[in-house]
A and B are shown apart, each in its own frame.
Chain A
Amino acid sequence: MDTMRDRFAPVVSRLLDEDPRVAVVLAEIGTANFTEAQARHPDRVINVGIREQLLVSAGAGLALTGMRPVLHTFASFLVERPFEQVKLDLGHQDVGAVLVSAAASFDWPAGGFTHMAPGDVALLDTLDGWTVHVPGHPDEAETLLRHAVAAGDDKVYVRLSTQSNTEGLAVDGARFLTLREGRDGVVIAVGPMLDAVLAATEGLDVTVLYATTVRPFDTAGLRRATEAAGTDVVLVEPYLAGTSTAAVNDALAEVPHRVLGLGVGRRELRKYGEVDEHIAAHGLDARTLRERIRGFVGAGHLSSYVRT
């Protein structure tokens, strides 16, 4: 199967053909896939070289002239390295851009920690006004990329990963999908975590929500789900554990609730190897997830019994 990133250049190349506002800015990474588009639109496919501060600032300058810049590189060099440019040149200047990252939390484990960005979404959470899409399948990536570019002058982050679910679902760029309904809690699977969550919750009486747009957080969707499933909530995120815990707490501020935030651990593993080995090391494989989810929603019964 192709990857989300395989869809990125073809989709954006078509958008370049369709919309004269669109410009792509790259910092060497990914340029080979834009050769044809660059020949057609030499002034709107821009490679600034290995200069990630300039990548973001130049995107801001393009936006100041009324264009819709799409900026792309690995997550660690798109959000972390030039973070002040993201904060000031986009946020403070009050202009928009679409940031499309690759490599995610550990797509290239043999590349080591320098190419891992489990903290990208948490960092963006310190800023105002960002939409964050986390597709779980190449088809969803294509849909969400189109949503992102079409979103006026919004600031949008699209987090592409080689981790993927087997099937793409009909995502709408805003709301969570309800995939299963139960009475013992709500499990929110974010993007590529869905297959593992579905396997982990097989036979459990829990509601499974599927989230591919995590900012803004679908507060209404979560509240609705808790009406039947109760307010024990488990988040399973493909980036730093607990990134959306505050969003869940805010959504359920008016009711007693419990939240378990699962995801990538903070501790640097200093391991290489394969993606599956890192999934297991962070406890995100289906078997471990099942244990952690059962342990949590089981304890939830007790606490709700005590409360009533």
Chain B
Amino acid sequence: MTTTAAQSRTAHSHPYDYAELPRLMGLMTGDEKHGPAATSTLDVLWVLYDRVLRVGPERTSDPGRDRFLLSKGHGPMAYYAVLAAKGFLPVEWLPGFGSYDSPLGHHPDRVLVPGAEIGSGSLGHGLPIAVGTALGLRAQGLDGPAVWVLVGDAELDEGSNHEAIAFAGPAGLDRLHAVVVDNSSASHARPGGIAARFEAAGWSTVTVDGRDHAALYSAFTAPHSGRPHVVVARVEPKDD
């Protein structure tokens, strides 16, 4: 698996950049044009993998790597495209998306996808697992690695998230970072409600335009001493 990924990178003469992601997604969807729902996470993922996360295909089992947990496992084409662009998995895998023998399902499986820290699909699991990951790193004295988890705004409907949010703040899990991709898909929501929930639990919060790479980078790297940090990344409503 690693060999194949390495060969694939060698065959591609330059590192993939952001502009090539639609083509990579097109290998899975059969169309290079993608609506807001398919790309809601794309910019967040790109900025994280391109500029923030200390991860790489050569260090997927390095205890000191950052951990990125994709909790919102629906519509993972953007995730697979970014992983392929960054050399975690061969681009040749993308066209098989969802087929019987493909490692790339419509929800990711960590056992099958190089670089995927968790399998997801059922909503509300990633953030609580990320809490445990942060606790595990802290217990081993690994205070370098950051733990990141991406959730969707409607995913926050699941109560399990609120067990995690309410615990992480008072526990002072300052290596824990959440990014909520808010495409207004929750049926019952109040404006500003997402950040308020986290803030009430003692998190550091920033709300930004989820398409603005500079704003995302700034929000991702904002200091948040002693507190977990959430970035609410607002993108176009999925029904537009």
Contact = CB atoms under 8 A, between A and B. Distances in A.
Contacts of B63: 65-66
Contact of A59 (B111, B132, B159): B132
B139 A43 contact: yes
Interface string A121-144: 000000000000000000000000
18 contacts: A25-B132, A48-B163, A51-B166, A53-B124, A61-B128, A61-B131, A61-B136, A64-B67, A64-B117, A64-B133, A65-B136, A66-B140, A85-B160, A88-B122, A89-B128, A89-B129, A93-B119, A94-B111
Most B C-beta atoms less than 10 A away, residue of A20, A54, A67: A54
Contacts of A66: 63, 136, 140
Contacts of B130: 61
Most A C-beta atoms less than 10 A away, residue of B67, B111, B132, B167: B132
B138 interface: yes
Given A54-B160, A57-B160, A84-B122, A64 B129 contact: yes
A20 B134 CA distance: 16
Contacts of B128: 53-54, 57-58, 61, 85, 89
Given A57-B131, A92-B119, A93-B119, A62 B139 contact: yes
A20 B63 CA distance: 15
A57 B164 contact: yes
Interface string A36-62: 000000011010110101100111111
Contacts of A65: 63, 132-133, 136-137, 139-140, 142
A60 B132 contact: yes
B132 A61 contact: yes
Interface in B217-233: none
A43 B138 contact: yes
A60 B129 contact: yes
A25 B163 CA distance: 14
Contacts of A84: 122
A23 interface: yes
Contact of B125 (A57, A63, A94): A57
Contacts of B134: 61
B135 A43 contact: yes
B146 interface: no
A89 B134 CA distance: 15
B234 interface: no
Most B C-beta atoms less than 10 A away, residue of A58, A69, A84: A58
Contacts of A57: 125, 128-129, 131-132, 160, 164
Interface residues of A, number: 30
Nearest to A44: B139
Given A59-B132, A60-B132, 19 more contacts: A23-B136, A46-B135, A48-B163, A51-B163, A53-B128, A53-B159, A54-B160, A57-B125, A57-B129, A57-B160, A61-B131, A61-B133, A64-B67, A64-B129, A64-B132, A64-B133, A65-B139, A67-B136, A85-B128
A89 B125 contact: yes
Interface string A197-217: 000000000000000000000
Most B C-beta atoms less than 10 A away, residue of A62, A84, A85: A62
A15 to B, nearest CB: 14
B74 interface: no
Given A48-B167, A51-B167, A67-B140, A93 B133 contact: no
B106 interface: no
- Which 4 pairs show the lowest CB-CB distances between chains A and B? A61-B132, A65-B136, A57-B128, A58-B132
A49 B167 contact: yes
B125 A23 contact: no
Contacts of B211: none
A38 B117 CA distance: 29
A85 B109 CA distance: 15
Most A C-beta atoms less than 10 A away, residue of B130, B135, B140, B166: B135
B213 interface: no
A49 B201 CA distance: 14
B110 interface: yes
A93 B159 CA distance: 20
Contacts of A54: 128, 131, 160, 163-164, 167
B69 to A, nearest CB: 9
Contacts of A69: 132
A37 B117 CA distance: 31
Contacts of A89: 125, 128-129
